[in-house]
Chains A and B, each alone.
Chain A
Amino acid sequence: MVVVDADFDELRRLTGHDEKGDEELKSDLFALGLEYEGETEDGEAQLEFAPDRLDRLSVEGIARSLRYQYGEDRGVYVPRTNAPDWRYEVADSVPAERPYVTGAVARGVDLDEGVLDSLIQLQEKLHATMGRDRVKGAIGIHDLVMLKGGTAGSADNAISYRGVGPEEDTFVPLDSDAELTPGDVLAEHPTGRDYAPIVAEYERLPAIYDDLGLFSFPPVINGRRTELTVDSTDLLIELTGTDQWTIDRMCAILCYALAARGARIEEVTVSYPDRELTRPDLSVGTKRVTHERVETVLGVDFDPETVIDLAERSGLDAEVTERDDDAGSGPGSDGEVDPNADGTGVREGTGVVYEVSIPPYRQDVLGPLDVIDDLGRAYGFNDLEPRYPDVSTVGGRHERSRLERALRNTLVGLGFEDLLNFHLIAETANYDRMGLSSPDAAEDLDAEDVGKADDVNADHCLGALAPARIREPYSEDYEIVRTWALPSLMTVLGNNTHRAYPQDLAEIGLAAGRDERENTGLVEFRTVGAVLARTDASYEAAKTRLTALCRAFGVEAATPPTDHPSFIDGRAAEVVLDGTSAGVIGEIHPEVLVEHDLEVPVAAFEFRLGALR
């Protein structure tokens, strides 16, 4: 979600609706999908919305959407542009990682504090969204009066986008008084340090020059010479980035916002070594949308005039391009008589295809569904009557989920409290605190350590599988996926020593371990863990319950002795279910109990759920 600060008075002025109260505006904005979140210190409204309509990242853009909603504007509007006076020359030396540039000139802007703030906000929000924190696209806006082009005999004014070495030149960046090299800016300037990672791998640094020298160091910082003030009236906009389409769309959004403030947009010529572009790109795109799809998706029958009207109210234009009279009455039709059908049996609109015009600030319209969504919003989704779809299917549960439920009921019947623990756990909790040693990181793993996951006691004891590890975990409490459930249950016991005993707990849950034979490199399984924490907890008490539930599932249980560091020697056994080693049972070792601050004995068992199948 993105948040934009907007002044309600500005909205009233820009929409021409002085009579609208704050509450009315809030409700109009909510209808557009903009939620009022509160006020800034300066009393501006904070409006939150999903990051699809990036043209609404400014008060000007929000006002435009409101004007369409109010019916003040209809259809596609494209600001007029004047012929180019400035040329952006792209030098061969431009950094290969950031080869693209675009821009525009805007003249006659009346930049009061409010407009300037809105422009800066729009620039920052575009950086944060489409610009991917300036990596994909970065904007520089300059006071044109401070720029000098047109010397060296060329016919037009020119600036040049090129690559420079870190110490090749100097300029005075914003928020500084000193002549710095680009290298100095990255090392010393606060903004420079923030954005240094973007250009860290660049061989040459991006730089923009006019006749007087270096004035912009995209995507890091502008020079002070061309800084905007409230007295600036003519602006030069440049955007550099890793993708031409992206920076062109960002530029279009800026131009629309400035045009709404009365600016005259002037084209610029972008000269790449191999081609020449005229920018800003304010060309209108088109999408073909069938009438049938509009009706199916919205579940409402329309006549084409209504569809065209809804499009225009959304700031789009729609035109009927095709009328295929055969469609809809052919063999594909279900033959139902439609209430809206006319006498011929073919409904109005059947077979109609619209060509829908998309204004250049709409970077979010990728396909026909995006257009239909706009039509639905203009129609009012909440005016649609819900209906239960006439679609018949047969439901059912997954076998694993049925088995889990059956076992859970059996465990509860045996007196266990069913628990639900996190699958993520600290490595020390999973291994060390249970008396196991943590497996080494993967580089040391050999085939011995992984790939034995289905025979739980084969080479190592239950729980000793190598884990799935989180990359860069925030919290050391959650750094791996647990390889067994007993550590979670022991932790719960440790956190509940102030609660009444006995505490007989069980959990059926996920555990996982590395297994090279799996496509994902990980074997995931449900494991069944149970603990009896009580003064009379004993191996026998645990085995009584294990045997009872095995009997309930018709599974033969054997318990040959085994060694496991979590359990007392001589009081631990392998759980062998129908001849397959599936887990472990025993009395928890006093060292493990003390480690969990427990003052009662604990008997426990754990085995793979799958062994009960």
Chain B
Amino acid sequence: MQLPEAQLAALEAASATEEKTIAQLAAETDERPATLTGAAFDLADHGLLAITERDEETLALTEEGETYHDEGLPELRLYRAAREAGATDDPVGMGEVIGASGLDGRTVDIALSNFARKGYGRIDSGKLFAEPDVDPEGDRETAALAAVATGDASEIDASVLDRLVERGLVARSQATERAVTLTDDGITALMEGVEVADSVGRLTPEMLTSGEWRDVEFREYNVEADADRTNGGRVHVLRETAERVKDVLVGMGFEEMDGPHADAEFWINDALFMPQDHPARTHWDQFALAEPAEIDDLPDELVERVREAHLEGVGEDGEGYHSPWTEEVARGMDLRGHTTSLSMRYLSGEAVGELSPPERCFSVEKVYRNDTLDATHLLEFFQIEGWVMAEDLSVRDLMGTFTEFYERFGITDIEFKPHYNPYTEPSFELFGTHPVTGELIEIGNSGLFRDEVLRPLGVECDVMAWGLALERLAMLTIGAEDIRDLHGTLVDIDFLRNAEVTY
């Protein structure tokens, strides 16, 4: 049999009849205790050694304990000083005794409280009286300190020891002591002869250059043992989902939009034909900015056309909203409540110049809603926004496009529930079946933009659009239950570290 050197040393030092501690083995061999411990465990794994473990309590003086061991406990120093001052006969002023004892700072308080506790005397009206019958040499705590200092604590009364630990003079600590004995297999192995294995742990550059690697034996590892945990870097799981959405949309011919998060209400609401007195336009639903409060410039002609659409409607027998409309409200700055503000900027030509059909655009960007933060609602979330601009689009085209998109995420059998939005007609809420729970859930909102939206923007063809929350899609595809685990500073890093990769 061949064994590594340390293991052989441990095996040879061990005895079948007498338990030997690691420390004893170390004394008998040239190996370090840590090496021997490892070797002993390896030998035990092979059944050659038996290991017994004992939890041992060790006691040691603390720094304060050392001081008192040298100088005497404060209460004893106080008692001796009191006796010398004659306080066994008549009470003596406290200041005088303390001065004579040489105590100061917190040791004074320690001395006084223990003085009374041990019955060394009384303190009354600032005077100190010492009991004459006390033998200062017989103090059990002093004796115990001395015993701990010499390492012989076996005789100390447990209650005295507890008291010293409580006083912070003695520290207890636990240590495991391991002892080994040879097993029968160990004896057999020794009798059959054990050689030092010429095995190596690590392949080194020197071995490679010298060719020594040809002559060595590589130590076997326990290849089934657990390895250290590492986390590495990862793309955020919600970003991963966003990337996947972007891939799908680019594949379907959509071009990505970009634009301001803080924008004028004009682009966020007015261009979308949201009446200015619409309940959703109060600050209860959207984040209005106090600073900056207003946009500098809006395109004058477009503002006029939008104003007209709100007041008069669009087309020969169009109808407006019968609500007041002022440019002042339109100039107000908000954090966008939807990325449809980007669509408005693109469709109007403001973002990248006039567009001509056909055109497909998308964005997967943050939007802001004044909502209550809970497991399914965030103040900020990502909205997937997409639209198709072409001549003569129908609701069937809309249904076909979204069916195609959601199928890429395993959501089939979409239902289109007729719905109402101020900016699209017809409008549909999209419902899909949860791939896991089988539940019917809302997965988006869609429709054909109204004439009242498109004509003021200068768009004469049809545009169909839809939007949905990325987080909702992510919860469907990655199974997150609390949206706050995903997004924001309340994130649990372990959740991100352990999230399953999506692709």
Verify A521–B396 contact, CB threshold 8 A: no
Binary interface profile of A, 32-48, with partner B (CB < 8 Å = 1, else 0)?
Answer: 01000000000000000
11 interchain pairs (CB within 8 A)? Answer: A136-B277, A299-B395, A367-B451, A391-B360, A395-B249, A441-B291, A470-B289, A495-B489, A496-B492, A505-B493, A521-B292
Verify A387–B400 contact, CB threshold 8 A: yes
- Known: A420-B238, A520-B263, A521-B291; 20 extra A-B contacts, CB below 8 A, are A296-B394, A297-B448, A373-B418, A376-B395, A381-B416, A381-B418, A386-B399, A395-B254, A396-B250, A398-B257, A417-B233, A417-B493, A418-B233, A422-B487, A424-B368, A442-B291, A471-B283, A492-B491, A520-B260, A524-B261
A412/B235 contact (C-beta < 8 A), A422-B488, A474-B370 known: yes
Verify A297–B395 contact, CB threshold 8 A: yes
Binary interface profile of B, 419-459, with partner A (CB < 8 Å = 1, else 0)?
Answer: 11100011110000000000000000000101110000000
A384/B396 contact (C-beta < 8 A), A411-B233, A412-B235, A471-B283 known: yes
Residues of A within 8 A of B388 (CB): 389, 391
Q: Which of B296, B297, B390 contacts A389 (CB 8 A)?
A: B390
State the CA gap A382–B429 with chains docked (Å).
12
Residues of B within 8 A of A286 (CB): 317
A409/B235 contact (C-beta < 8 A), A387-B396, A392-B253, A395-B254 known: yes
In the complex, the chain B residue whose C-beta lies closest to that of A245 is B322
Question: In which size bucket is the chain A interface?
Answer: 35 or more
Q: Which of B94-102, B107-115, B197-205, B308-316 contacts A (4 or more CB under 8 A)?
A: B308-316
Verify B420–A500 contact, CB threshold 8 A: no
**CB of A271 closer than 8 Å to a CB of B:** no
Distance in angstroms from A398 CB to nearest chain B CB is 4
In the complex, the chain A residue whose C-beta lies closest to that of B235 is A418
Binary interface profile of A, 502-517, with partner B (CB < 8 Å = 1, else 0)?
Answer: 0111100010101000
State the CA gap A370–B314 with chains docked (Å).
13
Q: Which of A408, A409, A500 contacts B231 (CB 8 A)?
A: A500
Verify B396–A420 contact, CB threshold 8 A: no
In the complex, the chain A residue whose C-beta lies closest to that of B464 is A389
Distance in angstroms from A532 CB to nearest chain B CB is 12
Residues of A within 8 A of B263 (CB): 520
Most interface-central of B283, B420, B452, B492 (chain A CB within 10 A):
B420
Residues of B within 8 A of A372 (CB): 425-426
A520/B394 contact (C-beta < 8 A), A395-B249, A470-B288 known: no
Q: Which of B229, B252, B317 contacts A395 (CB 8 A)?
A: B252
Q: Which of B260, B323, B450 contacts A367 (CB 8 A)?
A: B450
Verify A367–B315 contact, CB threshold 8 A: yes
Distance in angstroms from A25 CB to nearest chain B CB is 18
Distance in angstroms from A289 CB to nearest chain B CB is 10
Verify B400–A478 contact, CB threshold 8 A: no
Residues of A within 8 A of B291 (CB): 441-442, 466-469, 514, 521
Verify B279–A132 contact, CB threshold 8 A: yes
In chain B between 247 and 277, which residues have their CB closer than 8 angstroms to a CB of chain A? 249-258, 260-264, 277
Distance in angstroms from B330 CB to nearest chain A CB is 13
State the CA gap A505–B236 with chains docked (Å).
11
State the CA gap A3–B439 with chains docked (Å).
23
Verify A394–B288 contact, CB threshold 8 A: no
In the complex, the chain A residue whose C-beta lies closest to that of B321 is A366
**CB of B46 closer than 8 Å to a CB of A:** no
In chain B between 354 and 410, which residues have their CB closer than 8 angstroms to a CB of chain A? 358-360, 366, 368, 370, 373, 378-380, 388, 390, 392-397, 399-404
**CB of A436 closer than 8 Å to a CB of B:** no
State the CA gap A417–B315 with chains docked (Å).
54
Residues of A within 8 A of B32 (CB): none
Verify A417–B404 contact, CB threshold 8 A: no
Verify B232–A415 contact, CB threshold 8 A: yes
Binary interface profile of A, 351-390, with partner B (CB < 8 Å = 1, else 0)?
Answer: 0000000000000111111101100110001101111110
Distance in angstroms from B166 CB to nearest chain A CB is 29
Verify B360–A393 contact, CB threshold 8 A: yes
Residues of A within 8 A of B290 (CB): 442, 469-472
Q: Which of A393, A405, A491 contacts B255 (CB 8 A)?
A: A393
A373/B380 contact (C-beta < 8 A), A391-B388, A412-B233, A419-B491 known: no
Which 9 A-B pairs have CB atoms at the shortest separation, nearest pair first? Answer: A299-B394, A521-B292, A299-B396, A386-B399, A50-B420, A52-B420, A412-B233, A389-B397, A393-B253
Verify B236–A381 contact, CB threshold 8 A: no
In the complex, the chain A residue whose C-beta lies closest to that of B494 is A499
State the CA gap A418–B426 with chains docked (Å).
40
Verify B318–A367 contact, CB threshold 8 A: yes
Verify A388–B400 contact, CB threshold 8 A: yes
Verify A393–B359 contact, CB threshold 8 A: yes
Q: Which of B229, B319, B490 contacts A365 (CB 8 A)?
A: B319
**CB of B64 closer than 8 Å to a CB of A:** no
Verify B397–A414 contact, CB threshold 8 A: no
Distance in angstroms from B76 CB to nearest chain A CB is 41
**CB of A557 closer than 8 Å to a CB of B:** no
Distance in angstroms from A134 CB to nearest chain B CB is 12
**CB of A18 closer than 8 Å to a CB of B:** no
In chain A between 451 and 480, which residues have their CB closer than 8 angstroms to a CB of chain B? 466-472, 474-475, 478
**CB of A400 closer than 8 Å to a CB of B:** yes
**CB of A397 closer than 8 Å to a CB of B:** yes
State the CA gap A512–B238 with chains docked (Å).
22
Residues of B within 8 A of A382 (CB): 415-416
Residues of A within 8 A of B392 (CB): 296
Verify B292–A514 contact, CB threshold 8 A: yes
Verify B313–A366 contact, CB threshold 8 A: yes
Verify B419–A421 contact, CB threshold 8 A: no
Residues of B within 8 A of A260 (CB): none
Residues of A within 8 A of B415 (CB): 382
Verify A389–B400 contact, CB threshold 8 A: yes
Verify A491–B489 contact, CB threshold 8 A: yes
State the CA gap A377–B418 with chains docked (Å).
7
Residues of B within 8 A of A246 (CB): 322
State the CA gap A366–B296 with chains docked (Å).
32
**CB of A116 closer than 8 Å to a CB of B:** no
Residues of B within 8 A of A287 (CB): 317
A408/B451 contact (C-beta < 8 A), A392-B358, A395-B249, A514-B291 known: no
Distance in angstroms from A521 CB to nearest chain B CB is 3
Verify B255–A396 contact, CB threshold 8 A: yes
Distance in angstroms from A401 CB to nearest chain B CB is 6
State the CA gap A386–B277 with chains docked (Å).
36
Residues of A within 8 A of B368 (CB): 423-424
Verify A388–B254 contact, CB threshold 8 A: no
Verify B493–A492 contact, CB threshold 8 A: yes
In chain B between 334 and 363, which residues have their CB closer than 8 angstroms to a CB of chain A? 335, 358-360
Q: Which of A367, A424, A466, A492 contacts B452 (CB 8 A)?
A: A367
State the CA gap A482–B329 with chains docked (Å).
25
Verify B295–A520 contact, CB threshold 8 A: yes
In the complex, the chain A residue whose C-beta lies closest to that of B450 is A369
**CB of B333 closer than 8 Å to a CB of A:** yes
Binary interface profile of A, 126-139, with partner B (CB < 8 Å = 1, else 0)?
Answer: 00000010011000
Distance in angstroms from A594 CB to nearest chain B CB is 18
State the CA gap A363–B248 with chains docked (Å).
40
Residues of B within 8 A of A522 (CB): 260, 262, 292, 333
Q: Which of B236, B262, B358 contacts A481 (CB 8 A)?
A: B262
**CB of A488 closer than 8 Å to a CB of B:** yes
Binary interface profile of A, 415-435, with partner B (CB < 8 Å = 1, else 0)?
Answer: 111111111100000000000
Residues of B within 8 A of A422 (CB): 378-380, 487-489
Distance in angstroms from B93 CB to nearest chain A CB is 47
Distance in angstroms from B263 CB to nearest chain A CB is 6
Residues of A within 8 A of B294 (CB): 521
In the complex, the chain A residue whose C-beta lies closest to that of B249 is A395
In chain A between 44 and 82, which residues have their CB closer than 8 angstroms to a CB of chain B? 50-53
State the CA gap A466–B451 with chains docked (Å).
41
State the CA gap A397–B254 with chains docked (Å).
8
**CB of B243 closer than 8 Å to a CB of A:** yes
Distance in angstroms from B238 CB to nearest chain A CB is 6
